Amino acid sequence: DAGVTQSPTHLIKTRGQQVTLRCSPKSGHDTVSWYQQALGQGPQFIFQYYEEEERQRGNFPDRFSGHQFPNYSSELNVNALLLGDSALYLCASSYRRTGDRQPQHFGDGTRLSIL
């Protein structure tokens, strides 16, 4: 049973470029959340997708956008890259239901470096 998979594992971009990161959720999961983790910090919530729509969003600018596909996989897009966007980007999946939400399962992330 494959867990959450993310691609690519590492990526180097320059300022002003655009990047797309990909995530496949754990089998049976239908909800995907994205987090940004700067060096030495805890992950910060970017947004969450369920039923192909953005359901919740953290304090991130519109340069950060996403998409969820019918097979529940997801993409994170970042436009006009800044040096400060250098971070580990984590994808987490879960099975959505009301009340006591199921734990989130994280991938090992994509390390994005901006030059």
* Region binding other proteins by CB under 8 A among candidate stretches 14-22, 54-62, 64-72, 73-81: 54-62
Any bridge partners for residue 87, and if so which? 112
Question: 23: alpha, beta or left, given left = phi > 0 and alpha = psi -120 to 50?
Answer: beta
Using CB under 8 A as the binding rule, whether residue 78 contacts other proteins is answered as: no
Any bridge partners for residue 5, and if so which? 24
* Region binding other proteins by CB under 8 A among candidate stretches 11-19, 64-72, 78-86, 95-103: 95-103
Does the CA dihedral 103-19-69-51 come out positive or negative? positive
- Binding residues (CB under 8 A) for other proteins: these are 4, 31, 33, 35, 40-45, 48, 55-56, 58, 90, 92, 94, 96, 98-101, 103-109
